[in-house]
Amino acid sequence: MSRCRAAQAVLLASVAVLVAACGGGPDGAGGTSQAAGAPASGIPDTAAIVQGVQKDAQLNAALPDNVKQAGLHLASNLQSAPNNFYAADGKTPIGYEVDLAKAIAAKLGVPVTHQDMAFGSLITSLQSGRIDLTMAGMNDTKARQAQIDFVDYFTSGITIMIRKGNPDGITGPDTLCGKNVAVVQGTSHQKFAEAQSAKCTQAGKPALTVTATDSDNQNQNQLRTGRVAAILNDLPSAVYISRTAGEGKFFEVVPGEPIEGGPYGIGVNKQNTPLRDAVQKALQALIADGTYGKILQAWGVEQGAIKEAAVNGGS
């Protein structure tokens, strides 16, 4: 999965609500889209799930002293629904990543504070010690592993979004041949669509007609009106849009594994192995006891669930 550098507006129902959509650079560059809340139906109540997490005394004891005393200082690019974004009040961080961070902190027995930061500043802020962790839909890649360590927590990738009821009969990439497909300009989605089009013609099938626009908002309007048969988007954003746009009546996501999938990782300073290992063990415990799955299910993104919280598992 690769996240976009370009801002992408999302139309939710008939209200102009901005959320982040993903697309992306070749190695998973970060997105900078705005998020200004969402319809109430798109915001689950996960308080009881997070509050049910019990502190692990052994993991707490293994934490660095500064974390024990001050808690976790976590930075995100808080503009990417449903990963992490602001509630309607414009100041409360919410999202499945926010809930996972709270649950990890609860398991470690410390508080966590979120800081909104430009995506491009996250790695350098980790390296300088200004923050303890990042959790911002950042792809765990070999290139980034040379700079920081990762604890993987989610698998994302390209997802096909279609009109509700699937009137065009799209069931996967190979059924896009001959179809009009919308993508955001300059993203990995565009590259995939062009590659898929070439694959179709090589197989003697019609090419894709790829429409590249400047915003996901334009693409959704085209899909709703039938000018395109599908939109390519990242898994979390596509699922969230499908659940919330028109109260879930406009779009749906083609089932199946994410295309060209890869892990999101919690970033940790490479010199802070004790914190990395404590976070990994806390997340693995949450996976084992079902808390992790409940959080993802509440946000409707369980399709990207992992079974093992690997360290530097990306490629």
pLDDT digits (tens, 9 = 90+) for 239-248: 888 988 898 9
Q: Residues 54, 190: one domain?
A: no
Q: Is residue 95 part of a domain?
A: yes
Tell which wins on pLDDT, 175 or 236.
175
How confident is the model at residue 275, as a pLDDT?
98
Which amino acid appears at position 143 of this protein? A
- CA distances to 102, 158, 169, 207, 280 from 197, in Å: 43, 15, 17, 5, 40
Question: Binning pLDDT at 50, 70 and 90, where does residue 11 land?
Answer: very low
In a domain, 17, yes or no: no
pLDDT for 228 equals 98
Domain membership flag for residue 67: yes
Same domain for 140 and 79: yes
> Is residue 138 domain-shared with residue 46, that is, in the same domain?
yes
Is the same domain home to 181 and 241? yes
Question: What range does the domain containing 131 cover?
Answer: 40-156+262-304
Q: Is 31 among the domain residues?
A: no
The vertex-239 CA angle with 123 and 285, nearest 5°, equals: 60
> Same structural domain for residues 220 and 276?
no
Q: What is the pLDDT of residues 187-231, one digit of tens each?
A: 778 989 999 999 999 999 999 999 998 877 889 999 999 999 999
Give the count of beta carbons closer than 10 Å to the beta carbon of residue 301: 24
In this structure, is residue 272 part of a structural domain?
yes
Does 226 share its domain with 292?
A: no
Among the residue ranges 6-20, 35-49, 87-101, 285-299, the one predicted with the least confidence is 6-20
Q: Which of 259, 274, 290 is the last residue of a domain?
A: 259
**Is 237 found in the same domain as 118?**
no
Q: Is 281 part of any domain?
A: yes
Q: What per-residue confidence (pLDDT) applies to 198?
A: 97
Inside any domain, residue 25:
no
The structural domain count of the chain equals: 2
Task: Inform me whether the pLDDT recorded for 5 exceeds 80.
Answer: no
Tokens of 146: 């040379």
Same domain for 48 and 146?
A: yes
Report the distance separating Cα 151 and Cα 104, nearest Å: 12
**Do 270 and 121 sit in the same domain of this protein?**
yes
Give the type of residue at 27: D
- Note whether 150 and 312 are within 8 A (CB): yes
Answering whether pTM is above 0.85, one says: no
50 in the same domain as 124: yes
Q: Which residue has better confidence, 302 or 38?
A: 302
Give the residue ranges of DSSP H helices in 62-215.
65-70, 96-108, 122-128, 142-145, 188-202
Position 127 pLDDT exceeds 90: yes
Contacts of 26 (CB under 8 A, 6+ apart): 2, 188
* Domain identity same for 274 and 191: no
Residues 123 and 183 in one domain: no
Q: Is residue 11 part of a domain?
A: no
Q: Average pLDDT of 162-187?
A: 94
| 32 pLDDT higher than 90 | no
Q: What is the CATH number of the domain that holds 196?
A: 3.40.190.10
